[in-house]
Amino acid sequence: MEILLGHSPDPDDAFMFYGLARGLVDPGPYRFVHQMQDIETLNRRALDGELHVTAVSVHAWAHLTDRYALFACGASMGDGYGPMLVARPGLDLAAAKRRVVAVPGTLTSAYLALRLAIGEFEHAVVPFDEIPGRVAAGEFDSGLLIHEGQLTYQREGLALLLDLGVWWGEQTGGLPLPLGANAGRRDLGPERLSELNRILRASIRYGLEHREEAVAYALGFGRGLDEALADRFVGMYVNDLTLDFGERGREAVRLFLERGHAAGLLPGPVAPEFIE
């Protein structure tokens, strides 16, 4: 069976799917067709149910619960760090809230976290990899960074206004900030979804157990990263929580979506369940 597998063209997703992409783990009875697009595009495609299995923002999944189930593996969690609001030096957070913020998409978890942190603000959706340069050029007053921009923004002369992973940890007694997840289309059925979760988990485990070669592969997807920074970035977002959300991760997802709903930012209450 052909499985359309969507994930982002960035180092952490590349690391996760290295085993599958290179035929180093058993794909079972499936032929995986990798479709690499930015996370907001994948979120939007998931709204239409186009992909069998896909990376999604945890925020986006709250709009997809009838169509997609969350896998227990594949989480990207900001454990004491996360998406960052940055600006040119001289602009503080209070001023940034009153001006246009460049964001990587309104279905991203970063966007939901920023809304929870600072309330309403005017925004413009900009491709994630263009945000640092366009803020540095003065096109936008501030920008919300995801992916490797969190490690490279200072090269653009930008200053940190708010680290949402730090903020979330302070709000929740140290829980990680839920960002990305893997999800499978419910019409595949429980047995097949469980099997797909096992295969994806095997790919993640292969990368973690063959870190050097997997990082070398992931480096090809890192914009502006050298090997050391790529290794650091992968370590931030592919770890034990990626193999399984665990109790902390599950509680973090529950609370994140609960607070999003309480703030009127989600279509309804969400009780997350995870395909084991």
Positions annotated as catalytic residues are: 147
Cα angle 264-274-255, degrees, rounded to a multiple of 5: 35
Closest CA to 11 of 153, 109, 206, 147: 147
Q: Tokens 């602009």 appear where?
A: 91
Q: How far apart are CA 69 and CA 164, in angstroms?
A: 26
Quote the tokens at residue 243: 């193999």
**What residues contact 187, with CB distance under 8 A and at least 6 apart?**
none
Q: Starting at the earlier edge strand, list the strands of the sheet with 142-145.
A: 123-125, 101-103, 142-145, 84-87, 159-163
Strands 274-275 and 68-71: parallel
Distances (CA, A) of 77 to 12, 63, 169, 187, 194: 11, 19, 11, 27, 22
